[in-house]
Every structure is written in structure tokens, then in C-alpha cells.
Amino acid sequence: MSNSTGGGIAELGTCEWPPLAVADSRVHELLLRQERQERTTLKLIASENFASSAVLEATGSIFTNKYAEGYPGARYYAGNEIVDELENLAMDRLKALFGCEHANVQPYSGSPANQAVCRALLCPGDKMMGLTLPEGGHLTHGWAVNFSGTDYQRVPYGLHEKTHQIDHDSLRETAKRERPKLIWVGGTAYPRIFDYEAMAEIASEVNSYLVADIAHISGLVVAGVHPNPVGHCDVVTSTSHKSIRGPRGGFILSRNEDRYQALYHSKSKHNLAKRIDRAVFPLLQGGPHMNTIAALAVALHEAGNPSFRVYGQQIVNNARALAQALLERGYELVTGGTDNHMLILDLRERPLSGKAYAERLSQAGIITNFNMVPGDRRHPALTSGIRLGTPAVTSVGMREAEMLQIAAFIDLVCRQPDDSDVHARVRRDVADFCAAFDVPGISDR
């Protein structure tokens, strides 16, 4: 018979485990280094943000331990009464915030969400229409190296040659000629407002599903500073991080009924919402990450606070201020400015590639990503542009005045891209500049 001594319990692994600093000093050291980097650099990557301590707490919570294959009330594991409540809570909050009929919070991220929508609405070989990657679209909207470009026929649409904004007249002509079954509206590097009403008219004319990808702008939609695609689109997908400040995950919003069920799914017994749910599970995924769903529920609760609308408006104000400051310093911007949270520096007339400038800026504590621009002749691994975003710097409390200083930092580095002494000086100045602001999830712990 075994005894109940502490040593015996420890050997079985049932004692209280030590904290991270003791259990794994190497990972803890990397975590601290990342915290120092987050505190002392300017996070200008448009797809990044700072989650609150409450969101981080839920992400690392005991919900990590629970397996819950299936959906609330229809699980394949026992003991899911509590997580059923949790998932229903997250879905209800999504439906309330966006005004949609159905929500699925199980996608592991934005790309899996987009894949699930494609599998729910399309058959292999069907035509899919989306904005091309060099002009601001996303990999999953029909790019050649992605599943969306290998499993389906790609029908790309582009931007107006002069304005670099979506050319709805050209898009309509292409849609009428090609008759795609699905049209994507959304992108990863498009700094202007999406006209969902105009896109819905085109999709209706050709009997096409219209799907909005709002991964970048979901927080702006909730804040009321970007139009809501719900009501115009059949399906809406998003990540749960970026501007909405949640965990790394995804969600799908949709109508319950399928406008084209008789046309495309005459043998199907399932409505649109059920087809999407079945595409997520069991077709593409197994058990959902309940800790991520818990953190999403927290983020949605935070987004329902009136202060979130103030935050969303400030994101846009900051992006416009940063854009104007860079324009005044002689920089070219794709579309000439921005309506949302991002701006794209067009560096084709500059001596170095977008990647080279992004590397120099990073050395100076300014974190960006290199990005393709319309008409880019450089390889996607080099590019001729840089994408900048304001969600994260807005989360730490920066406003228009700080955007002017950030533009000055960027200009110092880009005007002297090979002067390491300048980069080192800017790095110190950036660290001092950031020290005046509290970082959510780090400073409040």
C-alpha cells in the first residue's frame, strides 16, 4: 500500500507545481525579454495589439484543460455543462455586438475560419473572387500558393489604376463575365472603407455569396467607425485579436438561412448556419480551445463598454494624424492616406526594399512589417512597402501628438538607413518615449 508522504505525491505529479520562473527558467527568461521589448518599442504592426490582463488571465486559465468536441448541448465528452455556458456566452455577446443571427467561436484563427466558409459554401473547382494579395487582399482569398488558390478557381479583382481603391465598375464586369460562386470583400493591407452595400449589389446580380473578412477591422466595426457588413453579407469572418483586442483565435458570423440553397444546395437538409458549423467541426477541426473562447468572451465584454467606442475612434484619428505627418515629410502612401487603422508606405522611389527599411526601423525600436504595394515589382520576400498600424500604440494611450513624434522617428531612420549611430540614438529615444505610457497586460500586473 502506498503512503501519503509528500515525496510520493510529488513523484506522481500531483503536488502543487512551481511557478514558471522555477519550473522553466529558460522560457521565463524569454518571457521577460519579450516584456522588456514590448515596453520599450513602438508596436506599429497593424495586426498586433495589447490584450488586457483579464484577457490574458482567461487565456491561461483552467479552461485550457477541458476537451469539448462538438457544440453546446451536443458534446462528445461528459462534464461540459460549464463550458457550454461559456461558449453560449461568447456567441451571445458576438451576436449582440454585431447584430448577427448566428455565431461560431470555435475557429482556431482567421485562416481556418476562412477555410471553413469555403468548405461550407463551395465545391472543389468552384470560382472564388477576391482582392489580389499585392493590392491588399489576403492569402485565403484566392492566392495561388494557398488552399484557396489550389482547391478553387481564382478570379482576382484589383484596384483602380490611379486611386488604388477598389474599382467597383471593373469588379462588376469581371463578376458578370466569370459568375463566381463566392466573392470576398476584405483585406490585410487596404487602408480605406469597404463599401459593403455596393459589393452586395454586385454579388446579388451574379447570384454569388458575399463573404466579408473583417479580421483587421472588427474592433472598428464594433466601435462604429467602420460600416458593419452584417446585413449586406451572407457570412462574416474575423480573427479575435487585432483591433478587437482579444486572444489569438477566430470567429464566423452568418445568416441562419441560405439565400441560394435552392440554387446551390438543393439536396442539402442544412441551412447556412448549420453548414458552417459542420465545416468547422467535424470537417476541419476537433476539440475547440475553450481557454481561447473564454478570453474571447472577456474581450467582447470589454468591447461592449462605451469606452471602446472612444478607443476605436482614436485608432482612426491616430492613423490619419500619422499619415498626414508622413505625407508632410515627403513620403508616398498607397491611396494617399487612410480611413481606418493602417497606412501603407510606398517606397518604390526609395533606394532600399521594404524589408530593408523594416529591418532598420526595428533596430531603432520601431516595429513594422514590410508589405507589397500595388504594382510592386519586387519579390514578396522583399517588397517595396511598409505597413503601419495604430491599434497597439492607441491601446497604450498615445494620441495625435505622439503620432507626430513617431513620424519624426520613422523619418530619421529612413533618411539615414545605413547610419547605425542614428539608429542607436533613435532606439534610446524611442525607449524613453515609451516609458511614459503603461502597457496593458504588462504594466497592470
End-to-end CA distance of the chain: 45
105: number of Cβ within 10 Å: 25
Residue 69 known to be catalytic: yes
Distance CA 328, CA 218 (A): 30
d(CA 350, CA 258): 50
Strand (E) positions, 143-288?
153-157, 182-186, 209-213, 235-239, 250-254
38 an active-site residue?
no
159 marked as binding residue: no
Catalytic residue of the set 38, 87, 135, 213: 213
Residue 53 CB partners (closer than 8 Å, separation 6+)? 440, 441, 444, 445
> In which element (H, E) is residue 130 found?
strand 127-131
213 catalytic? Reply is: yes
Extract the C-alpha cell encoding 377.
Answer: 515589382
Backbone dihedral angles phi then psi of residue 182, each to the nearest 5 degrees: -140, 135
Residue 8 annotated as binding site: no
- Is 139 labelled a binding residue? yes
Catalytic residue among 35, 67, 278, 378, which? 67
138 belongs to an annotated ligand binding site: yes
The 10 Å Cβ neighbour count of residue 445 is 10
Active site annotation includes 444: no
Q: Exactly one of 35, 48, 57, 69 is catalytic; which is it? A: 69
Spot the catalytic one: 140, 188, 239, 394. Answer: 239
Count of alpha carbons within 13 angstroms of residue 267, beta-carbon side: 0
User: Rounded distance, CA 175 to CA 181, Å?
Assistant: 10
Of 66, 93, 172, 242, which is the active-site residue?
A: 242
In terms of Cβ atoms closer than 10 Å to its own Cβ (0-12, 13-18, 19+), residue 330 is exposed
CA distance 148 to 33: 37
**250, 224 contact by CB (below 8 A):** no
Cα 275 to chain centroid, rounded:
24
Cis peptide before 72 (omega within 30 of 0): no
Beta strands in 240-317 (DSSP E): 250-254
Catalytic residue list contains 259 = no
Spatial separation of the C-alpha atoms in residues 200 and 203, rounded to whole Å = 5
Annotated binding site: 133, 137-139
Annotated binding site for (6S)-5,6,7,8-tetrahydrofolate: 133, 137-139
| Residues with catalytic roles | 67, 69, 213, 239, 242, 248
